[in-house]
Structure formats: C-alpha cells, structure tokens
Amino acid sequence: MRGPHNLWRLIRTGATFERTGAMRAVLDAMDAPRSLRVAARVLGWPFKWLGYEGDNSMPPAPRALTALGPAYIKFGQILSTRPDVVGDEMAAELRVLQDKLPPFSVTEAKEAIERDLGVSPDAVFSEFSAPVAAASIAQVHRACLAETGEIVAVKVLRPGIERAFRRDIDAFYFAARAIEWLSPSSRRLRPTEVIRHFEGVVSGELDLRLESAAASEFAANTEDDAGFRVPRVRWFLSGRRVMTLDWVDGVPLGDNAALDSAGHDRVHLSERVLQLFLSHALRDGFFHADMHQGNLKVGPDGSIVAFDFGIMGHIDEYTRRVYAEILYGFIRRDYQRVAEVHFEAGYVPRDRDVHEFARALRAVGEPIFGMDATRISMARLLAYLFEVTERFGMETRTELILLQRTMVVVEGVARSLNPHMNIWHVAQPVVEDYIKNSIGPRAVLRDLKQTAEIFSRFGPRIPALVEDMLIRQSQPEPVPPRRIWPLCMSWAAFGAALGAGAALLLGALG
C-alpha cells in the first residue's frame, strides 16, 4: 500500500547503500562534490545498521542493488551501459546485473512450468539444463524438445517477483509524492507520472504472454532487416509465467574479447546496433526498449540477435516525425529549427524565447559535434541538458521516457564496442532516409490518402450526424452565436478538407 510505512523502505534503501559501501563507491564513480558526500555520510551513517547486508562476494554497488530488489536492479542495468557516467570499473561491476544474478533452482522452474502450462516438463523436454542466464525478472534454461529434438530457450519468471516489484513501486510512489511536496519546483519533472509510467512498463514485463506477443510483432516488423534476428516464439509452450523461444547460439555483445576472438568487427557492430534502434523507432514506431548487452548476442554469421522483449517502446507517427526533425536539426547544426520543433510540439512553454532556446541548444550541440565518443563527457552533457530543461520550464514527457532512456542505453552499448564512434555520423543515414520518406511530398500525399480513408469510413454516419445536429439546433433553447459559429466553421472546414483531399488524391493517382 502507498502509505507512510514506505518511509521505512526508503530509510532501509539509504542504510543498505551505506552498509554495503555502495554509497561511497557510487559518489566516487560519479565524482560527486564534497558537499554531497558529507550530506550522504551524515544522513546515512546513523541508520547504517538497518540496511541489508547483501552478498559479501559482490562489489559494493551490485551488492546493494541485488539486496534491495528487482526495481533497483533495473536501474543498475542502465548504469552498467554508461562507463562515461559511472566509470569503467563500476560499469564492469554492474554488468553482473544483466544476466548473472543468483538463480533459483531447476526444481522450482519445472514446478512453475507445470503449473502454468499444465504439462509435465519431463514429458515435453528430453533435456532441461541448469540456468544459463539469470536476471532481475526471470531466468533462462536450455532445453531440448522431446518430440522433435529441437533446442529451445525456456524463460521462467522468478517466484514471488510480482510481490517484490509491488513493494518497490509503492516505495517509489511515496518518494515521488514526498519530492513533489518538499520541492514544488520538481513538479515540472512529474515524478509521480514517471513512476506510473514505470509501473505500466513493469506490469507488462511480468506477463510473459504479452512478451511473447511483443516478440512476435517485433519479428514481423524486422524480418527484412539485414544482420538482425529475433528468435521464434513457441506459442504452445508459452504462458503467463513461462515463455519458450528458439535457441540461438552466439557471443554476448558485452564480451569484447570473445567478439574479437570470433573475428567480429566491433566497429561495424557499434554502428549497426545504433542504426537498428533508430530504424525500428523511426520506421516502425515499435522498438526494443531494454537493449543492454545482456539482451543482445552476435550470431556466427555476424547478425545481431535480440532477446528479452518484456520492455518494448511505442511512439506514434507524429512523435516520430518530431523526434526525427530534432535529430536531423542537430546533425545539420540547424539549432534554430531544432528550437522551433520543440515549440511546435509543445515541449517548451510558449511564453519562452525561441531564439534564446536555440542558443542554449547550440551550447549543447557544438561541443560534441564531430567528436568521437572518447572526447565527450556524457555526465557533463546530461547535467547541462538538465539545466536547460529547468531554465525553460520543460516538463517531463512520459510518452518519450522509454525512447530517451533506450537512446542513452544503446549509445552506451555502442560506445563499449567502439569508444571512438561518432554518433552523429552513424545516425545521419537512418534519419535522412526517414526524413525523405516521411516528411517530404510523398508523406503529404500519404497523409491525405489516410485522411480520405478515415472520412470514407465515417461516410455512412454523416447524414445521421447532420440530422442530429439540426434537431439539436431546432430545440427551444437558443444556442449562443459563439457556439454556432465554430460549429458552422467546423463543418465548412470538414467539407473543404474532404474536397481538397479528394482533389489532391485524385490528381496524385491520375
């Protein structure tokens, strides 16, 4: 329940970081100012004894996060892809959170399969291995189908995972509301809405039927993408807590030494993983939103293979066009256009100065334009971007959270493969291709065609709508002129739009 008792949970969170030594390790890795270090020490030390001890064999940060629970582990997975923010040493330590967490037993996994699918695992599988990967939500087993001899991957949710996430999310809600109450200026960041969005994402991840559907849709969207594969879902062996897919051999994308030994080109892979993400986000509006190294492999043929489709992002066509125009503006160093797009989309309040905002964006873009990743401090860049959003009163856009988070993660993955990668150069062909196909004249004709199709579907209802409008207009109560005029104008605009759309469409088709 979302009540004050969650204060105890938050106290134990800070105490756990202090007890495990993670507090000092994180602050050192992020080069935090002395004032913040002293404050953390003063506030954390008295409660140190209340913290969880965790696994003593782990380094401080992963030790604290695994002790606190799955929602905290998710945060650690994101940081593991950002050595430029937390340092190479801590990023390497946090990698264990991706797929090397303590597993649960094979017996528990088989019991879960039998309960969920109503079949005996020993009858369905001729072989069933110990866990080959264990993450925050589930673990994976390698199995052989008794009937066909095919090798499959069987994913099983952790016992009690729903309750553990519910506990963490309730504490996050309490913290978000406390922040909004204590710091009114933070409300533009909409912390409660952010937690609500996170809750929705996690809820989908805890139902493997939804993940199976996402994997199937993602596979259909990307079947023609060269150098990219999605394993096939075995629906007859998938349910709420169990998911079965084709097994794919490959080298983990986070193991640079193994990639080099296998003869894979890491420079090409770094470019490919970023371009694939941008292509899926812009072209399809449906993208893998958890693309850390633990969910990506490189097959023997050099193809990138994606796994774990519990967190998928979706953005509508309008948002895609806005996002593409912003990226394209940065690539062309047209900061005035980037600023205008922010205002047109409503991302910046109308009472702010668009030219001043453009200058602020120039201060973001110019220092990093044309530079390789080794010369860019992402920590400083993110800090300045936060200052810009605060100065111009920009609110958090919950519909963009997954997109922005995934962009940060994917760019971090690409950096780990090739520290000298130039993200603007790599992104340019994908963004330009989308701009050409989705914002040019062809896109206008396509939009008009879709508009005409929508009007045609509602065509049979138009007489009834007109009749209903006329009946309402004939009622004794007079309608104020200010209401009649917009109504007449809306119908006039409807007719004009329909006529113009039809004329243009016929002209294009003729």
Tell me which H or E stretch contains 427.
helix 423-438
Q: Which tokens sit at 214?
A: 């996402």
Strands 304-306, 228-229: pairing is parallel
Q: Give the DSSP letter string of 48-75.
A: GGGS----TTS-HHHHHHHHH-HHHHHH
Q: What is the 3-class SS of 171-223, one letter each residue?
A: HHHHHHHHHHHHCHHHHHHCHHHHHHHHHHHHHHHCCHHHHHHHHHHHHHHHC
Q: Which of 84, 168, 225, 290 is catalytic?
A: 290
Query: How far is the C-alpha of 330 from the C-alpha of 338, rounded, in Å?
Result: 7
Total Cβ atoms within 10 A of residue 243: 28
Residue spans of beta strands (DSSP E) within 3-150: 125-134, 138-145
Where b means 16+ CB within 10 Å and e means fewer, 479-498 reads eeeeeeeeeeeeeeeeeeeb
Strands 242-246, 251-252: pairing is unpaired
Under a CB-based contact definition with an 8 Å cutoff, are residues 155 and 208 in contact? Answer: yes
Identify whether 290 is a catalytic site residue. Answer: yes
The residue whose two tokens read 């050409």 is: 436
Query: How far is the C-alpha of 341 from the C-alpha of 362, rounded, in Å?
Result: 14
User: What 8-state DSSP symbol labels residue 136?
Assistant: S
User: Nearest Cα to 186, choosing from 178, 196, 195?
Assistant: 178
The residue whose two tokens read 């925050």 is: 136
Q: Which residues are catalytic?
A: 290
